[in-house]
């Protein structure tokens, strides 16, 4: 299998497993990722996911150009199909469970778009980033332009998009493309540490907070505040919120149930 899925406690780890091909996405990998997102979404006991690539050379270099030539059918037929031609990234759009990208080595083209679709990005010091589609006569088509312009400073993002130039891990950290930088051998331990830190919080509260933050980005402030308030109201009488207060009063760790 070109995608490996493992689970420890409440953390699901999804690993692109084609290190000899720099974890490029071929049809089998695409299908494996789609299944991984479905598994994560439907598993109530999985609270956080980590996405990474096997080996230290590459997180993912995007599509395997040798195996992903343009399809025979029309774009319209693909676009208006059930999957919409974007089944690889679309599941992340309305997934309110947190996803962490642990970026080791190259994150190029669709690989960077995949990382940008995650909530948190941490990188090893040997990571390299590029939105390189223009160099092979194509363009970003899975959120690269939209998300990169929102994550990185606009001037830097535009330069990356139009030139396809590479950005080092240090520069990615400086501009806020990634939140944490660590040595390659420490990357997964750091990702797991962050995932476990999130899992120590109430899962419904985490998801509601992510929803408020994500939806609020595309709303005027007054509408965003209203959504935040409504989500707070949804949580107000949950068992976990009551448990959180009891645990605080009793000076013990809370026992979250996701209810």
**What is the C-alpha R_g of the chain?**
19
User: Helix (H) and strand (E) counts for the chain?
Assistant: 10, 10
Structure tokens at 153: 């400073």
Catalytic option among 56, 113, 193, 239: 113
Task: Note whether 49 and 100 are within 8 A (CB).
Answer: yes
Interatomic CA distance for residues 124 and 172, integer angstroms: 11
Catalytic option among 133, 171, 228, 250: 133
**56 is a catalytic site residue:** no
Closest CA to 130 of 91, 169, 75: 169
Residue partners of 188: CB distance under 8 A and separation at least 6:
50, 52, 102
Angstrom CA distances, 134 to 8, 137, 139, 161, stand at 39, 5, 5, 8
CB atoms within 10 A of CB 146: 12
**133 is a catalytic site residue:** yes
Structure tokens at 53: 């690539």
* Positions marked catalytic: 113, 133
């Amino acid at each position: 299998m070109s995608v490996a899925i493992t689970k420890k406690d409440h953390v699901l780890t999804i690993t692109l497993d084609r290190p000899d091909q720099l974890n490029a996405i071929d049809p089998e990998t695409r299908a494996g990722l789609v299944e991984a997102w479905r598994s994560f979404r439907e598993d109530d006991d999985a609270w956080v996911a980590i996405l990474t690539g096997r080996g230290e050379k590459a997180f993912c270099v995007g599509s395997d150009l040798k195996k992903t030539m343009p399809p025979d059918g029309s774009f319209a037929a693909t676009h208006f199909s059930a999957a919409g031609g974007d089944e690889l990234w679309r599941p992340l759009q309305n997934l309110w469970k947190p996803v962490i990208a642990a970026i080791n080595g190259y994150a190029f083209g669709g690989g960077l778009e995949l990382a940008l679709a995650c909530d948190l990005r941490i990188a090893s010091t040997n990571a390299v980033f590029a939105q390189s589609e223009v160099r092979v006569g194509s363009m970003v088509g899975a959120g690269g332009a939209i998300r990169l312009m929102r994550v990185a400073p606009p001037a830097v993002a535009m330069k990356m998009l139009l030139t396809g130039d590479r950005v080092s891990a240090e520069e990615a950290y400086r501009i806020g493309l990634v939140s944490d930088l660590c040595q390659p051998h420490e990357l997964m331990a750091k990702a797991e540490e962050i995932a476990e830190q999130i899992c120590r919080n109430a899962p419904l509260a985490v998801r509601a907070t992510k929803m408020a933050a994500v939806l609020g980005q595309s709303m005027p402030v007054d509408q965003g505040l209203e959504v935040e308030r409504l989500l707070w109201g949804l949580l107000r009488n949950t068992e976990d919120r009551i448990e959180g207060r009891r645990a605080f009063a009793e000076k013990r760790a809370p026992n979250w149930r996701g209810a």
